[in-house]
């Protein structure tokens, strides 16, 4: 997938710690959730889920 948006704090400009990734298909998005949810990246536990509109 490609990064669609990294959410930043309006006052500081620093990342808030979450973002959105756009996938070409629902199947690719579901695979990413299964592969990445609950993993540790750079010492931080990450949570991955399908965004609700």
| pLDDT one-digit tens code per residue, 6-52 | 899 999 999 998 889 999 999 999 999 999 999 999 999 999 999 98
- Report whether pLDDT(5) > 80: yes
What pLDDT does residue 23 have?
93
What total number of domains does the chain contain? 1
Q: Is residue 50 part of a domain?
A: no
Q: Is residue 51 part of a domain?
A: no
What pLDDT does residue 16 have?
92
Q: Is residue 24 part of a domain?
A: yes
Indicate the pLDDT class of residue 4, thresholds 50, 70 and 90: confident
CB contact set of 8 (below 8 Å; sequence gap of 6+): 14, 15, 16
- Report whether pLDDT(3) > 80: no
Q: Is residue 25 part of a domain?
A: yes
**For residue 5, which of 28, 24, 21, 16 has the smallest C-alpha distance?**
21
Q: Is 44 helix (H, G, I), strand (E, B) or coil?
A: strand
Q: Is residue 40 part of a domain?
A: yes
- 16: containing domain: 2-45
| Geometric angle at alpha carbon 28, from 26 and 19, rounded to 5° | 85
CB atoms within 10 A of CB 29: 18
């Amino acid at each position: 997938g490609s990064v669609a948006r990294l959410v930043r704090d309006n006052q500081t400009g620093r990342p808030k710690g979450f973002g959105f990734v756009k996938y070409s298909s629902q199947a690719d998005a579901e695979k990413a959730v299964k592969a990445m949810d609950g993993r540790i990246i750079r010492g931080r536990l990450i949570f991955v889920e399908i965004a609700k509109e």
